[in-house]
Amino acid sequence: MSKDARNRDLELTSEEQLKFDEVVAMLARHGFGEEGPPRETTFAQIEQFGHQAGRMLARALDTQLASEHAEHFTGEEACPSCGQSHSPHDAPHALPLQTTDGEVVLHEPAFRCPQCERDFFPGAHPLAD
């Protein structure tokens, strides 16, 4: 990844940027108080806090987006082995997943094919390219 790619931000609307700035200010106050970092704070400490907050945001986004994605699989789905359609279980399958930024728990729709005696998760896809 090039240095330029690492520094490229998301393009936010004016309203989204305002909300983002509010969240950043709230996190900064949480980490260092109303007065900001004390004089003796090193940049390494500031950077460490930024990474901690970034990992927290990444996990929250992973969870939110995976939950929204799972909503696409609320109806009947075909068994990948026999093609017979089945409805999802009432309760989703909890899948703990270790990400680059820490553990998240995904809640996938779970299906069961009694004919093939197998469970399947149509929203599941490879984790890597």
Q: How distant, in Å, are the alpha carbons of 31, 36, 44, 101, 115 from that of 40?
A: 15, 11, 11, 28, 67
Q: 3-state DSSP call for residue 121?
A: coil
Question: Which residue intervals of 1-129 are DSSP H helices?
Answer: 3-6, 14-32, 43-70
Q: What is the mean pLDDT of residues 33-53?
A: 97
Asked if 109 contacts 122 with a C-beta cutoff of 8 angstroms, the reply is yes
Q: 3-state DSSP call for residue 56?
A: helix
Q: Which residue ranges make up each domain of the chain?
A: 13-31+46-120
Residue 2 confidence (pLDDT): 55
Q: Which residues of 43-59 are buried (b: 16+ CB within 10 A; e: fewer)?
A: eeeeeebeeebeeeeeb
pTM, two decimal places: 0.76
pLDDT digits (tens, 9 = 90+) for 71-127: 888 899 999 999 999 999 888 889 999 999 999 999 888 899 999 999 988 865 444
Query: How many residues are listed for the chain in this entry?
Result: 129
